[in-house]
């Protein structure tokens, strides 16, 4: 039987089950551990349901609210037509389309055995000139934006680009003087730890000769160029002032903005907070006894100016996440007299090449990014973790020299949750790991030392005393201790009343393995969070835009 025959029969059964309201047959079309992922089809929410019981309950609650018809396989689409897949061609995958009374949709099915586009552009050739038409459009948006996005980082800019294509008038405010300054202010040796195909920007992939691992400064320049080439309306040197007010009768916000020293008030219907998932730096150094007597420098990695400034110095780095490893490597390569990392608890370490290969399997550079994003949207995190856990033996054999070398050097190293490596920790904790780009080799060679299972107890004028009773000579102590959550920043920006209605803070995952607080209703009308990595904003911005349009058209209510 061909892959098209298999997919066609399954899709027909799915269609008939919905027509007949046959919940039992619908759920039986899924494996016992199978999943249904729903993006705004059965409800105005983003949900992932695992197993027959949860799928059945979900469909039972919603099947009477919606009519879905017109199911058809994507037989002509080279990327989504029916095909056998899997290492032994034991799986069948296919895209399909369908219709509801208010919209057309698409889906992706992946079948196995129990024993095993860009939107049309905004501007067209016309008079007045393109620049005059753009400026006139911007004037209208400045006067009455439908959406105000706070933050012109990768997420804020991609959402603005998506909304422009969806003809949602959008204004972006950025506190820095230039777009990309948030990245320019990071430590100089920073490169993204994902390959470029994973962090392509919406509508505008990187050039073919772009580095696989994007450096800090190139990314900053690209973000600035992106805003220009996508014709995005961004106010730089501008920030939303605290405590915006929301009027339920008009369904509009009143937001005062400090626009380069001038106070301007705008009244958008929607407020999108796109300032990342991290709050202020977590800096325990100034609470440790004796810090005021220390004669050297104490700083956090967020103000680390680069290793060349500490050549010949004795440096202690506190923390073994990505930043700690990158900073320690930079110090060692720039001739610090000594570099010692203090590790409190175990860390998952994987080479960048291993992580990169896994991501390149999901985002190969020869396939259009929208196709890859759509495929990614259909993959629940639980399935990813289970798949990676099954390969932990192979991963260990491949990385044994690095792992055992680090352990022999005194470092606590683990293989991540269930042996699944770094990637689950990125979503679940956003910490407890590092993607190794060379620090591991420096530790194994002895150029960088590790003190594990302890932390700083007290500062002395030229050394630090540790909880285990030992001490380290130090002229510089750098805390790579991460960041607080967004709670304080959001409270300062939105105020207690708004925040109390807005549900959980963005970040992490919920019991369905969905991103908490991201790209769906926060609980407060007109307030949205846009956390996560580049690919999240690139793909999920469409669903955020659909919800905003559905609210304005009366199809959705909060």
Angle between helix 392-408 and helix 381-390 axes, rounded to 10 deg: 70
Residues 348, 413: contact at Cβ < 8 Å? Answer: yes
For tokens 């799915």, the residue is 14
The tokens for 84 are 């056998």
Helix (H, G, I), strand (E, B) or coil at 146: coil
Strand 35-39 relative to strand 527-529, pairing: unpaired
pLDDT for the residue numbered 117 = 42
Q: How far apart are CA 151 and CA 533, in angstroms?
A: 14
Among 284, 301, 318, 306, which residue's Cα sits nearest to residue 474? 318
pLDDT for the residue numbered 89 = 54
pLDDT for the residue numbered 174 = 98
Q: How far apart are CA 392 and CA 358, in angstroms?
A: 13
DSSP string, 104-159: EEEEEEEE--TT--PPPPS--S-SS-HHHHHHHHHHHHHHS-SEEEE--SHHHHHH
Q: Which residue(s) pair with 92 in the sheet?
A: 84, 111
How far from 262 is each of 143, 144, 211, 416, 548, CA to CA, in Å? 15, 18, 40, 49, 29
Among 545, 506, 463, 446, which residue's Cα sits nearest to residue 170? 545
pLDDT digits 0-9 by tens, 337-370: 999 999 999 999 988 888 888 888 888 988 999 9
Among 490, 489, 498, 460, which residue's Cα sits nearest to residue 477? 460
Q: Which residue(s) pair with 515 in the sheet?
A: 509
CA R_g for the chain? 26
Burial 321-331 (b: 16+ CB within 10 A, else e): bbbbbbbbbbb
Residues 334, 315: contact at Cβ < 8 Å? Answer: no
pLDDT for the residue numbered 270 = 98
Query: What string of pLDDT tens digits covers the 558 residues of the chain?
Result: 788 999 999 999 999 999 999 998 899 999 888 999 999 999 999 999 999 999 999 999 998 888 999 999 999 999 999 998 765 556 899 999 999 999 999 999 999 865 444 444 444 555 678 888 888 889 999 999 999 999 999 999 999 999 999 999 999 999 999 999 999 988 888 889 888 999 999 999 999 999 999 999 999 999 999 999 999 999 999 999 999 999 999 999 999 999 999 999 999 999 999 998 778 889 998 899 999 999 999 999 999 999 999 999 999 999 999 999 999 999 999 999 999 999 999 999 988 888 888 888 888 988 999 998 898 888 887 777 787 777 777 777 888 899 999 999 999 999 888 887 877 787 777 778 888 999 999 999 999 999 999 999 999 999 999 999 999 999 999 999 988 888 889 999 999 999 999 888 887 778 887 888 889 999 999 999 999 889 999 999 999 999 999 998 888 987
Helix (H, G, I), strand (E, B) or coil at 42: coil
Residues 523, 502: contact at Cβ < 8 Å? Answer: yes
Among 351, 326, 349, which residue's Cα sits nearest to residue 448? 326
Domains of the chain (ranges; CATH) run 3-112 (3.10.450.50), 135-279+485-553 (3.50.50.60), 283-481 (3.50.50.60)
pLDDT for the residue numbered 280 = 86
pLDDT digits 0-9 by tens, 269-328: 999 999 987 788 899 988 999 999 999 999 999 999 999 999 999 999 999 999 999 999
Among 533, 531, 519, which residue's Cα sits nearest to residue 163? 519
pTM (2 decimals)?
0.82
């Amino acid at each position: 039987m061909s892959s098209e025959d298999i997919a066609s029969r399954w899709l027909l059964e799915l269609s008939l089950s919905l027509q007949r309201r046959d919940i039992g047959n619908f759920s039986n079309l899924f494996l016992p551990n199978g999943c249904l992922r729903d993006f705004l089809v059965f409800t105005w929410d983003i949900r992932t349901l695992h197993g027959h019981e949860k799928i059945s309950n979900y469909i039972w609650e919603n099947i009477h609210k919606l009519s879905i018809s017109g199911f058809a396989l994507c037989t002509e689409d080279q990327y989504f037509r029916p095909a056998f897949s899997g290492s032994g061609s034991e799986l069948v995958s296919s895209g399909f389309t369908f219709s509801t009374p208010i919209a057309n949709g698409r889906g992706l099915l992946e079948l196995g055995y129990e024993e095993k586009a860009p939107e049309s552009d905004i501007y067209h050739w016309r008079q007045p000139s393109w620049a005059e038409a753009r400026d006139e459009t911007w004037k209208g948006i400045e006067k009455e934006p439908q959406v105000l996005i706070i933050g012109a980082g990768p997420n804020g800019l991609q959402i603005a680009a998506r909304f422009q294509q969806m003809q949602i008038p959008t204004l972006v405010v950025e506190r820095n003087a230039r777009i990309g300054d948030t990245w320019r202010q990071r430590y100089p040796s920073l490169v993204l730890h994902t390959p470029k195909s994973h962090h392509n920007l919406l509508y505008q992939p990187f050039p073919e000769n772009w580095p696989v691992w994007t450096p800090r400064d190139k990314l900053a320049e690209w973000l600035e160029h992106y805003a220009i080439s996508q014709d995005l309306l961004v106010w730089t040197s501008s920030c939303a002032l605290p405590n915006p007010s929301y009027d339920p009768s008009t369904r509009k916000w009143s937001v005062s903005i400090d626009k380069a020293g001038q106070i301007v008030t705008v009244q958008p219907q929607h407020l999108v907070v796109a300032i990342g998932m991290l709050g202020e730096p977590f800096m325990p150094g100034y609470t440790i006894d004796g810090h005021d007597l220390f004669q050297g420098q104490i700083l956090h990695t967020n103000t680390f100016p680069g290793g060349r400034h500490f050549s010949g110095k004795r440096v202690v780095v506190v923390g073994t996440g990505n930043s700690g490893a990158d900073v320690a490597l930079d110090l060692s390569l720039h001739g610090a007299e000594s570099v010692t990392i203090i590790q409190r608890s175990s860390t998952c370490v994987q080479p960048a090449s291993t992580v990169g290969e896994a991501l390149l399997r999901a985002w190969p550079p020869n396939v259009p990014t929208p196709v890859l994003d759509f495929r990614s949207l259909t993959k629940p995190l639980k399935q990813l973790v289970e798949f990676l856990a099954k390969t932990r033996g192979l991963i260990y054999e491949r990385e044994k020299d690095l792992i055992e070398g680090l352990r022999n050097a005194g470092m606590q190293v683990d293989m991540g949750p269930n042996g699944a490596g770094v990637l689950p920790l990125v979503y679940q904790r956003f910490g407890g790991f590092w993607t190794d780009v060379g620090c591991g080799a420096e530790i194994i060679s002895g150029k960088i030392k590790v003190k594990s299972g302890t932390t700083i107890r007290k500062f002395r004028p030229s050394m630090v005393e540790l909880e285990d009773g030992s001490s380290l000579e130090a002229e510089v102590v750098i805390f790579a201790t991460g960041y607080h959550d967004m709670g304080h920043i959001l409270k300062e920006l939105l105020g207690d009343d708004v925040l109390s209605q807005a549900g959980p803070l963005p970040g992490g995952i919920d019991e369905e393995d969905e991103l908490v607080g991201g790209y769906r209703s926060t609980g407060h009308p007109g307030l949205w969070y846009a956390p996560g990595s580049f690919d999240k904003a690139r793909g999920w911005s469409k669903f955020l835009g659909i919800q905003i349009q559905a609210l304005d058209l009366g199809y959705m209510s909060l």
